[in-house]
Structure 1
Amino acid sequence: MNNFLFVAAENDGLANCKAGGMGDVVRDVPRMISERGDKVHVIVPSYGRLHQGGLLKTNLNFSLRGLGYMAELYEVKPKKEYPNIVHYVLHHPEIEAGDIAHIYHNDPEEPFYTDAIKYFIFCTAVAEAIKKGAFGDLDVVHLHDWHSSLLLFLRQYHPEYKNLKDIRFVYSIHNLAIQGIRPFDDNYSSVKNWFPNVPIDYKGLMDYRYKDCINLMAVGIRFADAVHTVSPSYKEDILLPSSPPEFIGGEGLERDLQKADEEGRLFGILNGCNYKNINQESKGFIYRNTVKALFKWLQEESKKYKADFLAHTGEKIMEYVDNRPKFIASSVARLTEQKFYFFMRSPEAFVEVLKKLEKVDGIFMLLGTGAPEYEELFRKLSYEHKNFIFTNGQSENLIDSIYLESDLYFMPSLFEPCGISQMLAMRNGNPCLVHNTGGLKDTVKHMKTGFSFDGENYDEKIKNMLDVLDEALDVYVNDKPTWKKIQASAKRMRFTWKKSVDEYYKVLYRLDS
């Protein structure tokens, strides 16, 4: 039996421990490993809350800032029990919940200041737990994003944790743009302050752009035995330098990624999609679920500032309860530059989309929260356009309904490491209209399982996006057999975790399956 440890900042195998897609991966991959009869330990920080009601396994003593530190390792109950999977959280009073999903801190003045401290403590405690044998003899440690990469720094340089070199370390990149950059010294949240006894290898650790800083995303790429991106096309994208906004590639880390690729350590494997919890909602409830969500939010103190807008959305929806539109285009996403840059830069292009939908008696439904300027843009557009319904909140039931009842799922991401939304839409037989980038390129084929647009520059991309929407609507209205064929092909596509994890065993874990 092989023995694994997954180390991450989030894990959707636990309640209230997810901010993004990484949480899904850290939930799903261990389940597939367990199905193969191997053992997995999954550890995340407790953020001052997740250890409550857990079982204290051991106290961990280690040194940071020249001082003795003690952290507590708890075994906790998952949402769903699986054989051979044990879930842990690590508690230390300085690892606090942040303002993003009660996990990450948002430090606009000094990015990563608080988070770096949290994950310095977390990773050192995990290294101590491995050394102490808390997880037994490990074959593979699988790290996720910069929050866990400090384990590779400890393995490489810390005299106390040389034993980590006996274990294979795999590093998955979920969001290359968020890199965990901190100063080497002269700052409370710096490497020198937290690890005064570790000699700093400035050349081996420095960020090429900010030479007085460590880049923790780069540490993962430089020192892992295998580096993994969550789709094959995204792997190709990040070997090239970014030239925003037309192209988002290696984000300043392309040299490290090219080197990992040359050394045969870089692999692109598409994320799977969980097909087990499909369609919990029944068809026909999309408008009712919207109204229910809006009523709930209107009663929340924290939503008072947008009460007028929520009521305005409610009025709009009521009109559609009896008089249903003939076509629904939709998007479910965090409102960020990655997902909606095209519309932020060209709101007029989005207005064009709405006009095209109006011609076929169609509406656009968008659900999400995120960056204030994006929320404001979409609220403004919603006041101005009758057939745009912007649900500015989060509701699992409504999201299920949207995936189930849309006719066309819109995903114009600027870049997309893998993307899960298009897979969730496709499993319900919804064609997607996507930007031909990263994981979207690997999952949606134009006129076969959906529609995709591209272009040499920004203006070309916008023009092609609108042309492809015309093409999609034309097929919908005038060529029902082709539309049905595209729907059926989308529904048949299966991006299973089994397939992905088989590949993990072969190239990432180097274990015979």
Structure 2
Amino acid sequence: MKILFAASEAVPFVKTGGLADVIGSLPKELAGQGLDVRVILPKYEDIPARFTEQMETIATFTVRMGWRQQYCGILKLVHEGIPFYFIDNEMYYRRKGCYGYGDDAERFAFYCLAVLEALPHIGFMPDVIHCHDWQAGMIPVLYRVHYSWRDDYAELKTMMTVHNLKYQGVFGQEQFRDFFSLGDEHFGGYALEFSGGASFMKGGLLYSDLITTVSPTYAEEIQTPYYGEHMDGLLRSQKDRLYGIVNGIDYNELNPLTDPHLEVNYSDSADLKRRNKVKLQERLGLPVNRNAPMIALVTRLVDQKGFPLIERVIEELLSLDAQWVILGTGEPRYEQLFRWAADRFPAKLSANITFDEALARQIYAGSDLFLMPSQFEPCGIGQLIAMRYLSVPIVRETGGLKDTVFAYNEATGKGTGFSFAHYNAHDMLHTVERAVRLYNDPVVWKRLWANILAQDFSWRQSAEQYAALYEQLAYFPAAGDRE
């Protein structure tokens, strides 16, 4: 089968979050299972020169956006066996960063139109366009309205994956009418209208053939008002075609036995892992102590990640017999919180308000515990990487955290981490206290490591589930026959 991933970012070209990790790794596993998988992205200015210098222009044409005729170039680069296509328009993409501009509606409207227009030019008509998050959400709408009647497009199917429902691509209805040449029938009632405007995400959910999201628990959660971001009713109505498939990680790229960023490579050696902790303590200026548990947070410093809970009990957390290391950037409130904590407790906490991939790997390798007290977490990548590096996770039971981390049971010896159910600061504190206490029990820690090592968080099983859905789509009637 031929699959085209449409997404706004992918490792190693450009990354703002976990979406990029998925798009950079899942296609390789699908290709290994025999599918012809390709990826199409915007050509951002931030893509490193070592990649742009290898790109080949394979097509140029114009894209009609309402009354506009816009230039579009398609460049191609094969990376690790996967063909990547890059949509080039300097007016939209020759600027720093991916998102956050006043014309984002127009930039990603152009992207969605260009993806569909590009197919004949690149000589690749997929069986399925797999659209990821709101930036690609209008592709299923445009296909259904403007392309499904064309013979060369007639058998194409679309899938929409929600990586984070909080981001919905809501803009003015007049922009949708203008950019996409859509009439009133696509806005009233059960259509694109949302909160007085219109939504890219809603379009993808309603007009695609199948919907997936990035964990089974999140698929259930987003059908409730608390997690549904005002789309819970819509998602309940679509529950028969909504699937949750947990994300994986690239086991070749994320491997403590071969990771070039580590001071000491290891697989299941406690001694070698502790040597990484000592090196990390030395680098960060923390007291060298092999026996004190080191607790890590590598994340965006935003409300979603549970930082209001940490803020509420930070002095109690720092009174524990443990060291803390923070890596990430985000809201100034939390950046300042950790700078203050590092100044007040310099022997207990290292605050690294930056993003550094090499340091992140060293923190995964050097830490003993990894805290993710998220308010909501569609899947989460941090806990999967932490377990790959044998850093035991402490999580709130939500979304993919609930699906991938199983609470340690002292009676049975089963479990891969520590968890708490309620979004409550003291529930989190008590769970961290328990983890620190059990760290000092070598029998417990040996069991936890054995349980983690028995898990498989590679993409293999998840890719098989995606492949099964693509196969299922092959038997769907063509769009024109469904009207």
Instruction: Indicate the TM-score class for this superposition, using the shorter chain for normalisation.
Output: 0.7 to 0.9
Is structure 2 residue 459 aligned with structure 1 residue 487?
no
- Deviations for 1:119-155, whole angstroms, at most 9, x for unmatched residues? 111111111112x252423211101001011111211
Is structure 2 residue 150 aligned with structure 1 residue 153?
no
Provide the C-alpha distance between the structure 2 equivalents of 1:382 and 1:35, rounded to a whole number of angstroms.
46
Shift of 1:492: 2.1
Secondary structure, counterpart of 2:324 in structure 1? strand
- How do 1:322-361 and structure 2 match up within 5 A? 322=288, 326-343=292-309, 347-356=311-320, 358=321
Provide the C-alpha distance between the structure 2 equivalents of 1:413 and 1:96, rounded to a whole number of angstroms.
32
- Deviations for 1:29-86, whole angstroms, at most 9, x for unmatched residues? 21112112221221100024645542111112221131222200111253xx21xx21
Secondary structure, counterpart of 2:319 in structure 1? helix
Question: Taking structure 1 as reference, are residues 377 and 74 closer, same or farther at Cα in structure 2, changes over 3 Å only?
Answer: same
Question: Taking structure 1 as reference, are residues 205 and 97 closer, same or farther at Cα in structure 2, changes over 3 Å only?
Answer: farther
- How do 1:197-276 and structure 2 match up within 5 A? 201-203=186-188, 204-208=190-194, 210-211=195-196, 213-242=197-226, 249-261=227-239, 264-276=240-252
Size of the alignment, in residue pairs? Answer: 446
For 1:296, the equivalent position in structure 2 comes to none
Structure 2 alignment gaps of length 5 or more: 265-274, 409-414, 475-483
For 2:126, the equivalent position in structure 1 comes to 138
Question: Taking structure 1 as reference, are residues 120 and 509 closer, same or farther at Cα in structure 2, changes over 3 Å only?
Answer: farther
Provide the C-alpha distance between the structure 1 equivalents of 2:416 and 2:361, rounded to a whole number of angstroms.
20
Shift of 1:389: 1.0
Shift of 1:198: 5.2
Native 8 Å contact 1:169 1:226 kept in 2 = yes
Q: Read off the aligned partner of 2:191 and give its amino acid letter.
A: L
- Deviations for 1:260-300, whole angstroms, at most 9, x for unmatched residues? 11xx21000111121112121133355656887xxxxxxxx
Q: Read off the aligned partner of 2:8 and give its amino acid letter.
A: A
Secondary structure, counterpart of 1:470 in structure 2? helix
Shift of 1:368: 0.6
Native 8 Å contact 2:405 2:417 kept in 1 = yes
Native 8 Å contact 2:293 2:323 kept in 1 = yes
- More deviation in 21-30 or 193-202? 193-202
Native 8 Å contact 2:364 2:391 kept in 1 = yes
Provide the C-alpha distance between the structure 2 equivalents of 1:290 and 1:46, rounded to a whole number of angstroms.
40
Shift of 1:413: 0.9
- Deviations for 1:230-276, whole angstroms, at most 9, x for unmatched residues? 0001111111012xxxxxx1111111111111xx2100011112111
For 1:195, the equivalent position in structure 2 comes to 180
Shift of 1:158: 2.7
Provide the C-alpha distance between the structure 2 equivalents of 1:197 and 1:95, rounded to a whole number of angstroms.
22
Secondary structure, counterpart of 1:331 in structure 2? strand
- More deviation in 489-498 or 159-168? 159-168
- How do 1:95-134 and structure 2 match up within 5 A? 95-96=92-93, 99=96, 102-104=97-99, 106-107=100-101, 113-130=102-119, 132=120, 134=122
Give the structure-1-normalised TM-score: 0.82
Native 8 Å contact 1:342 1:412 kept in 2 = no
- Equivalent of residue 94 in structure 1, options 76, 88, 91: 91
- Give the alignment's Cα RMSD to 1 decimal: 2.3
Structure 1 alignment gaps of length 5 or more: 108-112, 243-248, 293-316
Provide the C-alpha distance between the structure 2 equivalents of 1:97 and 1:287, rounded to a whole number of angstroms.
43
Identity %: 29
Provide the C-alpha distance between the structure 2 equivalents of 1:396 and 1:48, rounded to a whole number of angstroms.
20
Bigger RCO of structures 1 and 2 (CA < 8 A, at least 6 apart): 2
Native 8 Å contact 1:127 1:161 kept in 2 = no
For 2:429, the equivalent position in structure 1 comes to 466
Secondary structure, counterpart of 1:205 in structure 2? coil
Native 8 Å contact 1:179 1:217 kept in 2 = yes
Shift of 1:16: 3.5
Question: Taking structure 1 as reference, are residues 484 and 18 closer, same or farther at Cα in structure 2, changes over 3 Å only?
Answer: same
Q: Read off the aligned partner of 1:395 and give its amino acid letter.
A: D
Is structure 2 residue 61 aligned with structure 1 residue 60?
yes
- Equivalent of residue 158 in structure 2, options 131, 153, 169: 169
- Equivalent of residue 285 in structure 2, options 318, 343, 346: 318
Q: Read off the aligned partner of 1:103 and give its amino acid letter.
A: C
Native 8 Å contact 2:215 2:246 kept in 1 = yes
Q: Read off the aligned partner of 1:72 and give its amino acid letter.
A: G
Provide the C-alpha distance between the structure 2 equivalents of 1:378 and 1:511, rounded to a whole number of angstroms.
48
For 2:337, the equivalent position in structure 1 comes to 377
Secondary structure, counterpart of 1:251 in structure 2? coil
Question: Taking structure 1 as reference, are residues 509 and 114 closer, same or farther at Cα in structure 2, changes over 3 Å only?
Answer: farther
Provide the C-alpha distance between the structure 2 equivalents of 1:239 and 1:348, rounded to a whole number of angstroms.
30
Question: Taking structure 1 as reference, are residues 226 and 319 closer, same or farther at Cα in structure 2, changes over 3 Å only?
Answer: closer
For 1:507, the equivalent position in structure 2 comes to 469
Provide the C-alpha distance between the structure 2 equivalents of 1:198 and 1:217, rounded to a whole number of angstroms.
18
